[in-house]
A and B are shown apart, each in its own frame.
Chain A
Amino acid sequence: MLLVIEQLLNGLQLGITLFLMSAGLTLVFGIMQVINLAHGSFYMIGAYVGATVAARSGSFLLGIAAALSAAAVAGMVVEVIVLRRLYRREHLDQVLATFGLILFFNELTRIIWGRQPLMMDVPAWLGGSIELLPGLPYPIYRLAVIAVGIAVAVGLWLLFSRTRVGMQIRAGAANREMIAALGVNIRLLYTLVFGLGTLLAGLAGVMAGPILAVESGMGESILILTFVVIVIGGIGSVRGAVVGALLVGLVDTLGRAFLPAMFRLFLEGAAADSIAASVASMAIYILMAGILVWRPRGLYPAHWS
């Protein structure tokens, strides 16, 4: 039972990281109609800048602040220089251009930081683990990641439903020409939205830094999961991103954790382990296929599309 709770927490934590990534991606996709394959690169930028600044200054918080600003600034620069020219082009052009950006950023990090993966440690005040229940220790850092993710989800909801900028963003997504005619600077708005998306990716990256290897190309493995999340959740919907991310995080984690035991009930050891490993790595794609059969546009299709 304790193991189930622990695995649920692990799933939740993976889901939260995926949510931070997919929130930005789904916003950009839903509002600007741009497929941004380079979203993982901003995750990597966040991790690299965060690890470097944290190591140099000795302050984890300073590292986070630097990571967020670097990811947001890099995102806005990319939007102005590259993506702005692609809004009216076909999706294939966008895919090609943003794929090129992945190669560019991966090589850039190799040039700046070398091939050596960077070291980023959990800050002392978040190190260690606490006993949530007797016999269930859980790393404090992972709990902190969960807390930050929930705070961001609430913050985004407030931003979109309660503020003027949020309203303009929603309106811009519904009808670009109309809101421009009403005197809103839609170009600036798009740049800001893109920067917000990459800032969230940078946050996910810097928070993953102490858990994962900070290395060139680290953004690609999470990018695939992120696309699965936004397809499940419904492209363009932040609410869908929340639900999709939690679903993917939980299904992936619980599948890896409990499928081997399930298969061992009716198969002998080695065969069960190898089949379980294969099925566990397919689980989220089976989930995606199932949801798409049931709801072809995802769980919460954005109302404007």
Chain B
Amino acid sequence: MKTLLTALVSAGLLSASLAVAAEPVKIGMVTTLSTKAGYLGEEIRDGFKLAVDQEKGTLGGIPVELIVEDDEAKPEKGKQLAERLVKKDGVRIMTGIVFSNVAMAVVPKVVREDVIYLSANAAPSQLAGKGCHPNYFSVSYQNDNPDEVVGQYVTEVGHKNVYLLAPNYPAGKDHLAGFKRYYKGEIAAEVYTKLDQADYAAEIAAIRAAKPEAVFFFLPGGMGINFLKQYAQAGLIGSIPLYGPAFSFDERILKAVGPAALGVKNRSHWTHDLDNPANRQFVEAYRKAYGRTPTLYASQGYDTARLLGSALKAVNGDLDRMADLKAALKKADFESTRGGFAFGNNQHPIHDMYIREVIQTPEGDYTNKTVKKVFSNHVDAFAGECQM
């Protein structure tokens, strides 16, 4: 890195970086701000920024500079941006990626270049098991977690025959695999639909005919909105209970789905009603700063910033002490909005998992209410494969 910097400086491209040491710590955030999914990146960014703003431009007392870039949900674009952040801006701490396919294009490469990557959302299994890396920390979760919780809960509730639905692409299959890992009953059918399918009438009619005891679906974004509305219109919501991971039930999607999602059980490792001081403070400050209730993604962005703050403080902002910084990160010595938080051997969170239910507030908005803790200190399924 140093030789590279010297080369750049001598080429006269980066005269400003001579003063790197005196400058604030740069944090490169590559996230998705445009396209339909742009609100996800917006939430992560706003959560992270809230933590920085609360400390008046510092994290753990160390001045920071947040550089936010939009990857447009495209792996190749994410790769370009990461390259520019690392090579040109000299960023050594990165975060922010929303989608797993973008993460797979960026993370393995940057961690090899001695950059620390803190995931605020995407956490594909490849990076949790054999592909784990000392420079990679997932502050969010591991991709399979959400589905495992639902699988466990559905088994506990006593459903014996569940119908599965997901889009026909790798993440869809991963999520159903996560569900099946903890679900013990029979599978009525495992249906894969076209990615970005709009109309689910055919699938819904097939569900009605198959008469399963419950339906588990993973349909992120607009697909989930479409499915939920049509499922409710077909009159099935009361008769065949529906379960899904939190992605289709964040407060911003609920606004678009409305009453169709009422009563649906979903899982999360965080909800705005979790009762701990850090979370109460966060939810209130977020509402005040942005005028809306934070989603799961915002809490992950906030936690990422707070974790980073605790580690920066431990090394007094000196990024040349990389080993100390990593050790401090691994301690996870911060007040998480989730309450308890610790890193496992693969540097993925060990945390509690909840089932929550969609309810209507007295003001007429739709939101989630925590119903039950399903797992305590849950470790992801890939931790054992990680040699670190």
Contact A212:B36 (CB < 8 A) given known A128-B235, A273-B190: no
- Surface stretch bound by B, among A26-34, A114-122, A162-170, A178-186: A114-122
**Number of B interface residues in the complex (CB < 8 A):** 40
Contact status A118-B202, CB under 8 Å: no
Binary per-residue interface labels of chain A (79-121) against chain B in the complex, 1 for a CB within 8 Å, 0 otherwise: 0000000000000000000000000000000100001111101
Interface residue A238 (Cβ < 8 Å from any Cβ of B): no
Chain B residues with CB below 8 A from A110, complex form:
38
Would you call B13 an interface residue if the criterion is a C-beta within 8 Å of the partner chain's C-beta atoms? no
B235–A129 CB distance below 8 A = yes
Give how many A-B residue pairs fall within 8 Å (CB-CB).
117
A221 to B226 alpha-carbon distance, docked (Å): 13
A74 at the B interface (CB under 8 A): no
Query: Among A2, A14, A274, which residue has its beta carbon within 8 angstroms of that of B168?
Result: A274
Cβ distance B273 to chain A, nearest Cβ, rounded Å: 22
**Considering the chains assembled together, what is the distance between the CA atoms of A301 and B325 in angstroms?**
70
Which of A136-144, A152-160, A189-197 faces chain B? A136-144
* B255 proximal to A (CB < 8 A): yes
- Expressed in whole angstroms, the Cα–Cα distance for A142 and B233 within the complex equals 9
Task: Please encode chain B, from 187 to 213, with 1 for each CB lying within 8 Å of some chain A CB and 0 for all others.
Answer: 101111110111101110110110000
Query: Which of A60-68, A240-248, A252-260 lines the interface with chain B?
Result: A252-260
Name the residue on A nearest B210 (C-beta): A3
Nearest B-chain residue to A274, judged by Cβ? B192
In the complex, the answer to whether B36 meets A217 with C-beta atoms within 8 Å is yes
The interface residues of chain A lying within 8 Å CB-to-CB of B36 are 115, 117, 215-217
| Docked-complex contact B256 and A214, CB < 8 angstroms | yes
Contacts of A216 in B (CB 8 A): 36
Judge if B258 is at the interface, Cβ distance under 8 Å: yes
Q: For the complex, give the distance between the alpha carbons of A117 and B258 in Å.
A: 11
Residue of A nearest to B259 (CB): A121
For B39, give its contact among A116, A137, A210, A270 (CB under 8 Å). A116
- A141 vs B257: C-alpha distance in the bound complex, in angstroms? 17
Query: Which residues in chain A, 1-45, are within 8 Å of chain B measured between CB atoms?
Result: 2-3, 6-7, 10-11, 13-14
Specify which chain A residues have a CB less than 8 angstroms from the CB of B38 in the assembled complex: 110, 115
Q: A174 to chain B: which residues have CB within 8 Å? A: none
Report if B160 contacts A (CB, 8 A): no
Contact of B191 with A119 in the complex, beta carbons under 8 Å: no
Could you tell me the distance between the alpha carbons of A213 and B252 in the complex, rounded to whole angstroms?
Answer: 12
The docked-state distance in angstroms from the alpha carbon of A214 to that of B35 is 14
Chain A residues near B194 (CB, 8 Å)? 277, 280-281
- Enumerate A121-137 residues with CB–CB distance to B below 8 Å: 121-122, 127-129, 137
CB pair A257 B235 closer than 8 Å: no
In contact, A257 and B233 (Cβ under 8 angstroms)? no
A222 within 8 A of B: yes
Are B206 and A14 neighbours in the complex by a CB distance under 8 Å?
Answer: no
A122 touches B191 (CB 8 A): no
In the complex, residue of chain B having the shortest beta-carbon distance to the beta carbon of A216: B36
Q: Is A211 an interface residue (CB 8 A)?
A: yes
- The answer to the question of A58 belonging to the interface, with a C-beta cut-off of 8 Å to chain B, is no
Quick one: which of B13-35 are within 8 Å of A by CB?
35
B residues near A, CB below 8 A? Answer: 35-36, 38-39, 42, 168, 187, 189-194, 196-199, 201-203, 205-206, 208-209, 221-222, 225-226, 229-230, 233-235, 252-253, 255-259
Q: What are 10 A-B contacts defined by CB distance under 8 Å?
A: A116-B252, A139-B234, A211-B233, A214-B256, A215-B225, A257-B202, A257-B203, A260-B191, A273-B190, A281-B194
Q: Which 10 pairs, one residue from A and one from B, show the smallest C-beta to C-beta distance?
A: A213-B225, A10-B201, A277-B192, A117-B256, A213-B222, A257-B202, A256-B202, A115-B39, A281-B194, A3-B209
Additional A-B contact list (11), CB under 8 Å, known A115-B42, A117-B255, A119-B257: A117-B225, A117-B253, A117-B256, A211-B229, A212-B199, A213-B226, A215-B36, A218-B222, A221-B197, A254-B202, A260-B206
